[in-house]
Amino acid sequence: MINPIRVFMDKDLDQTPEIEYLISKLKPTPEKVADPRPVYDLINQSDDPVGFAKKVLYITRNKGALIRQCPGTSYYTCCDYTILHCGTYCTMDCSYCILQAYFHPPVLQYFAGFDQYTAALDPVFQGDHIVRIGTGEYTDSLIWEPVSLMPGFLVEKFATQDRAILELKTKTVNIDSLLDLDHNRKTILSWSLNTPEMIASQERGTASLSARLKAAAKAVSKGFRVAFHFDPIFLYPGCEGAYEKVVEAIFAHVSPEDVVWISIGTFRFMPHLKSIIEARFPDSTIPYGEFITGLDNKMRYFKPLRIAMYQRLGALFRQLAPGVAVYFCMEDEEVWMKTFGFFPGKPKALAHMLDRAAADRCGLDSRLV
Amino acid sequence: MPVMTFTDIPVSEVDLSDTGFRITGPHHDSEHLKSSISQYGIMVPPLVLRGQDKYIVVSGFRRIEGARHAGLSRITCRVMPAGETLDAAMAAVTENSFSRELTPAELIRATVLLLRFMDAQSIAENATSIFNMPLNSGYINTLARIHALPDPVLDLLDQGQISIKACKHLVSMNAETRAGFLHLFSQIKASSGIQMEIIAWAKEICALEKISVSKLIQESPLGITNGDGTGQGGSRLGHRDMGALGKQFKAFLAQRRFPALTAAKKQAREQIKALELDSGLQLAVPENFEGIIYAMQMEFKNMDEFKTRLNRLAELADLNDFKSLVDR
Ligand code: SF4
């Protein structure tokens, strides 16, 4: 949860209702700064900048591009996702989190400015193709919900059009302020899932599996569409049965018709994340799987092991939810073929598959698919 | 600048048992030096410090040992006045480091010697004049921590059986794990890179399997040796090829750390061997079986060879071994 020990704020930020609300929800009074240097300096002084940065909030405006394309790689098939860059970093602490190694230093930033978001999103809403937009790439989408009006603002903004869907991806259960909004099915609330053992040992400060699934059921009861992400999947003794139980638990809470998509992807990481995990999570053995260097230079489980796991889950999805779009984030032709028997190999084929799922489940303009 | 005098002193008055300033290891081979001294005498006078009733060696242990060996009764030494211990320490290090590159163990001994008189920061600031190379204070402290490791470490460093890089990893380990690795490196010989690989893999296997390094070693090909350091046949370990043992141990770790990958590689090797390809045809499977592209390289000297190898390639398509390799 957002519970900073220091809060910094750009000195020239306007006192909008968004900012006033945010400040009213935070304990320490924001310290006004002219630029981010004092924040960086404070974080860099710490022995554990990665851990300390989770307790220092910096309220600012996004000075770069608010809308970005997800960085895929050429070899592994990417889903052409769009990122709405509304914040960085996270207050939870997952051993495998790439954000530990991504920012130098990591900074918990909140990018304020509804006017800026409106200006960036309006052209997207008038575009000639479907866009799937998420805020959960550089932060958890809903850690902000208890202190910020932003998630609600976005839900209502997306509700006014039928060309784009918003995906709020989280490991929290912070959805209460969103439930009664007029969302018009244009917001997908999505949860990253893992097995209870992995949540307990690798995801500090996140909600339990059952709490996440209960939240998903609550969202569905309010007409929201939901999605799930099995990413990262860890391979460990007994993992197949453990992940199958999670899949079964999903459909004990929600019906397949309410699920827009499910992604699956085994753990992969930039090599330098290993030493960070070893230093910050000395009891974790997740970097010690049977990894090889992938064609994108990330460490990946040896391919036959990945495929065997995917085949087990694929079979279960076919049985329990044949109509749900299940896809891989960053896998290649061999993995697709051996798991699902098809490969969305043509340019944008995977994007098309997901656009179709979004159009069907969320009521987007299907002529644009 | 230390004051010193050239003095002819009896060899018996030099205390070789005081090794406080010694930087070279006891294992240094000095046979050639001894025979040179027997024939030509000592060319560069050793440096000694006047002690209470004996002279303490600062630099030149092997020369003095050589002199004794050659039966010389007196030698000319450079003598420093009593009490000049800091100057003596500095001289012991600089004499060695400006005459040749210090070995890792010597670098450690030299650093620890100086740390008796000055802190790491001061050594770092003067490192180029003392060691003939830059050293930062963090590294100096690491060298001191390596020196504090249990006994065999300096011997292993002296004998080139462990690198400073590997020792740096041992420093942060608990005593039991460290002892396990020191025992391991006393039995094998491997390059610095392979030592690092061995440490990483062994540590990871132990973390995954929740076992100690000693237990892992026991279960390895090295574990078949008896407690007294002899192998199953009773032969001393020292007689076995330590390099070969290193390779064997690494292969054991690879198999245990990456069982599926190792098995797949072995199977692919066997399948390729079964194809009995001519020497001019080389088949490469995707690296680590991650990609999906196989490569066949063909070399030929003339048209006849080209045709023969092309025919051989065509035949491969019907071979089951080839199919099962490619359609994995
Ligand atoms: S919830 Fe997501 S963003 Fe937050 S620490 Fe975990 S992986 Fe990182």
Please indicate whether residue A90, judged by its CB atom, sits closer than 6 Å to ligand 1: yes
Higher pLDDT, B53 or A166: A166
Task: Tell me: do B16 and B141 sit in the same domain.
Answer: yes
Model confidence at B27, in pLDDT bands (50, 70, 90)? low
Q: Are strands A164-170 and A187-192 parallel, antiparallel or unpaired?
A: parallel
pLDDT at residue A75 in the model: 78
In whole angstroms, give the CA distance from residue B11 to residue B172: 44
- Strand spans (E) along A40-124: 56-60, 67-69, 82-84, 87-88, 93-94, 108-111
The reported pLDDT for the residue numbered B234 is: 40
Q: Do residue A302 and residue B260 have CB atoms under 8 angstroms apart?
A: yes
User: Are A302 and B291 inside 8 Å of each other by CB?
Assistant: no
Report the CATH number at residue B41: 3.90.1530.30
Looking at the structure, tell me whether residues B275 and B289 fall in a common domain: yes
Residue B275, min C-alpha distance to chain A (Å): 23
Query: Which of these ranges, A181-190, B1-10, B107-116, has the smallest mean pLDDT?
Result: B1-10
Name which residue sits closest to atom 6 of ligand 1, judged by CA: A94
- Mutation target among B292, B293, B327 for the A interface, most CBs of A within 10 A: B292
Q: Which of B186, B220, B188, B216 is nearest to B203 (CA)?
A: B216
Mean pLDDT, residues A179-208? 98
pLDDT at B229: 47
CB nearest A303 (choices: B207, B257, B290): B290
Any A CB within 8 A of B204 CB:
yes
Chain A residues inside the 8 Å CB shell of B264: 302, 304
Please say whether the beta carbons of B253 and B202 come within 8 A: yes
Distance from CA of A341 to the nearest CA of B (A): 15
Q: Determine the structural domain holding residue B230 and report its residue range.
A: 152-257
Q: Residue A89: left (phi > 0), alpha (psi -120 to 50), or beta?
A: left
Cβ distance of A302 and B258 shorter than 8 Å: yes
The answer on pLDDT for A212 being more than 90 is: yes
Residue B95 has pLDDT above 60, yes or no: yes
Q: State the distance from the centre of ligand 1 to the C-alpha of A97, rounded, in angstroms.
A: 5
Identify the pLDDT of residue B240.
57
Kindly give the distance from the C-alpha atom of residue A100 to the centroid of ligand 1, in angstroms, as a whole number: 9
DSSP type of residue A77: B
Q: Dig out the tokens for B300 from the structure.
A: 């030929």
Instruction: Return d(Cα A320, Cα A315) in angstroms, integer.
Output: 9
Cα–Cα distance, B144 to B1 (Å, whole number): 27
Q: Which domains does chain A have, with CATH numbers?
A: 67-84+128-368 (3.80.30.30)
Cα A91 to ligand 1 centre (Å) = 8
Q: Are B79 and B5 in contact (CB under 8 A)?
A: yes
Secondary structure in 3-state letters for A269-301:
ECCCHHHHHHHHCCCCCHHHCCEEECCCCCEEE
pLDDT-derived band at A346, boundaries 50, 70, 90: confident
Hey, whose CA ends up nearest to atom 8 of ligand 1?
Answer: A97
Choose one of A95, A100, A135, A171 to mutate for the ligand 1 pocket test, by most ligand atoms within 8 angstroms of C-beta. A171
pLDDT band at B1 (very low <50, low <70, confident <90, very high): low
Say whether both B164 and B224 belong to one domain.
Answer: yes
Where do we find the tokens 């399948």? B271
| Pair (B12, B119) in one structural domain | yes
Q: Is the pLDDT of residue B70 over 90?
A: no
Q: Is A21 on the interface with B (CB under 8 A)?
A: no
Of A113, A98, A149, A134, whose CA–CA distance to A274 is shortest?
A98
| Distance from residue A26's CA to the centre of ligand 1 (Å) | 21
The dihedral through the CA atoms of B230, B232, B234, B237 has a sign that is: negative
Euclidean distance between CA atoms B289 and B268, whole angstroms: 10
What's the one-letter identity of residue A118? T
Q: Examine the domain organization and report whether B12 and B124 are in the same domain.
A: yes
Same domain? For B285 and B192 the reply is no
Q: Are residues B11 and B122 in the same domain?
A: yes
- The whole-chain average pLDDT of chain B stands at 90
**pLDDT score of B225:** 55
Separation CA B103–CA B105 (nearest Å): 6
Task: Note the pLDDT of residue A214.
Answer: 98
**Confidence check: pLDDT of A200 > 80:** yes
Calculate what percentage of chain B has a pLDDT beyond 70: 93
Residue B45 alpha carbon to ligand 1 centre in Å: 67
Interface residue A285 vs chain B (CB under 8 A): yes
CA dist A171 and B23 (Å) reads 58
Residue of B173, B211, B261 for testing the chain A interface, max A β-carbons within 10 Å: B261
Give the position of tokens 């796991």. Answer: A309
Q: Supply φ then ψ for residue A205, to 5 degrees.
A: 80, 10
Residues A132-183 pLDDT 10s = 999 999 999 999 999 999 999 999 999 999 999 999 999 999 999 999 999 9
Contact B261 A302 (CB under 8 A): yes
Report how far residue A236's alpha carbon sits from residue A250's, in angstroms, rounded to the nearest whole number.
21
Q: Is A171 in the pocket of ligand 1 (CB under 6 A)?
A: yes
A101 lines ligand 1 (CB under 6 A): no
Q: What are phi and psi of A342, to 5 degrees?
A: -145, 165
- A294 touching chain B per CB within 8 A: yes
Average pLDDT of chain A to the nearest whole number: 96
d(CA A320, CA A258): 13
DSSP A29: P
Indicate the helix (H) or strand (E) that contains A262: strand A259-266
Is there a cis peptide before residue B45, judged by omega within 30 degrees of 0?
no
Residues B9 and B37 in one domain: yes
* Highest mean pLDDT (candidates A338-352, B232-246, B284-298): B284-298
Tell me which chain A residue has its CA closest to the CA of residue B208.
A285
Domain co-membership, B182 together with B291 = no
Q: What is the dihedral of CA B94, B98, B101, B102, to 10 degrees?
A: -10
Q: How confident is the model at residue B31 (pLDDT cuts 50, 70, 90)?
A: confident
Whether the predicted interface score ipTM is above 0.85: yes
User: Where among B128, B147, B166 does a domain terminate?
Assistant: B147
The last residue of one of the domains, among B257, B281, B314, is: B257
In contact, A146 and A97? CB cutoff 8 Å: no
Length of chain B, in residues: 328
Task: Indicate if the pLDDT at residue A26 is higher than 80.
Answer: yes
Distance CA B246, CA A71 (A): 43
Cβ atoms of residues A360 and A323 within 8 Å = no
Q: Are residues B103 and B126 in the same domain?
A: yes
SS3 B127: helix
- The tens digit of pLDDT for each residue in A4-19 reads 999 999 999 999 999 9
Pairwise CB contact (< 8 Å): B207 & A285: yes
pLDDT at site B238: 52
| Confidence at residue B177, expressed as pLDDT on a 0 to 100 scale | 94
- Give residue-wise pLDDT tens across range A215-232: 999 999 999 999 999 999
- A59 forms beta bridges with A9, A110
Same-domain check for residues B291 and B238: no
Report d(CA A87, CA A65) in Å as an integer: 12
Residues of B in contact with A293 (CB under 8 A): 288, 290
What part of A 315-354 touches B (C-beta under 8 Å)? 332-334
Is A333 close to B292, i.e. CB distance below 8 A? yes
Give the closest-approach CA distance of A242 to chain B in angstroms: 18
Could you tell me the CA-to-CA distances from A302 to A95, A294, A336, B163, B215 in Å, in that order? 21, 9, 15, 31, 27
Beta carbons within 10 angstroms of residue B154's beta carbon: 23
- Residue where the block lists tokens 């048992």: B17
C-beta A99 within 6 A of ligand 1: yes
Phi, psi of A13 (to 5 degrees): -75, 135
Q: Which of B11-15, B39-43, B60-64, B312-316 has the lowest mean pLDDT?
A: B39-43
pLDDT at B328: 76
> A300 touching B, CB under 8 A?
yes
How many domains does the structure of chain B reveal?
3
For B215-233, the pLDDT digits (tens) are 999 999 998 654 444 444 3
Last residue of a domain, one of B130, B147, B164: B147
d(CA B38, CA B119): 41
Mean pLDDT of B77-94: 94
Q: Could you read off the pLDDT of A253-306 as tens digits, one per residue? A: 999 999 999 999 999 999 999 999 999 999 999 999 999 999 999 999 999 999
- Name the residue type at position A222: K
- Predicted confidence at residue B22, as pLDDT, reads 94
Contact B184, B147 (CB under 8 A): no
Distance (Å, rounded) from C-alpha A154 to C-alpha A141? 11
φ/ψ of A194, rounded to 5, equals -150, 180
Residues B54 and B135 occupy one common structural domain: yes
CA A109 – CA B249 distance, rounded (Å): 49
Beta carbons within 10 angstroms of residue A83's beta carbon:
18
